Copies of this chain bind each other. A is one copy, B any other.
Amino acid sequence: MRILKPLVVGLAIVAVAAGVTIAQTQPDQLRQTAQALFAPLPEVADNPDNPVTRPKVTLGKMLFYDPRLSLSGFVSCNSCHNLATYGVDNLPTSIGHRWAVGPRNSPTVLNAALHTVQFWDGRAKDLEEQAQGPIVNPIEMAIPNQAFAVERVASMPEYVRRFASAFPGEAQPLNYVNIAKALAAFQRTLMTPDRFDSWLRGNDAALSARELAGLQTFIAQGCASCHGGPALGGNNMAKFGVVESYWEATRDVVGIGGPTMPIDVGRFAVTHNEADLYIFKSPSLRNITRTYPYFHDGGVWSLRDATQIMARVQFGRDLSSEDLDNLMAFYQALEGRIPPYALALPILPPSTQQTPRPSNR
Interfacial residues, chain A to chain B (CB-CB below 8 A):
65-67, 72-74, 79, 82-86, 89-91, 95, 98-99, 101, 289-290, 292, 301-302, 338, 340, 343-348, 350-351, 353, 357-358, 360
Contact = CB atoms under 8 A, between A and B. Distances in A.
A90 B65 contact: no
B74 A91 contact: yes
A208 B5 CA distance: 72
A83 B345 contact: yes
Mostly helix, strand, loop or mixed at chain A's interface? Answer: loop
Contacts of A360: 91, 95, 99, 101
Contacts of A302: 353
A345 B347 contact: no
A67 B95 contact: no
How many monomers of this protein are in the complex? 2
Contacts of A358: 90-91
Contacts of A344: 340, 343-345
Given A74-B79, A89-B67, A89-B74, A346 B84 contact: yes
B99 A73 contact: no
A346 to B, nearest CB: 6
A102 to B, nearest CB: 11
Given A86-B347, A343-B345, 8 more contacts: A65-B84, A66-B84, A72-B95, A84-B345, A85-B348, A91-B358, A101-B360, A340-B344
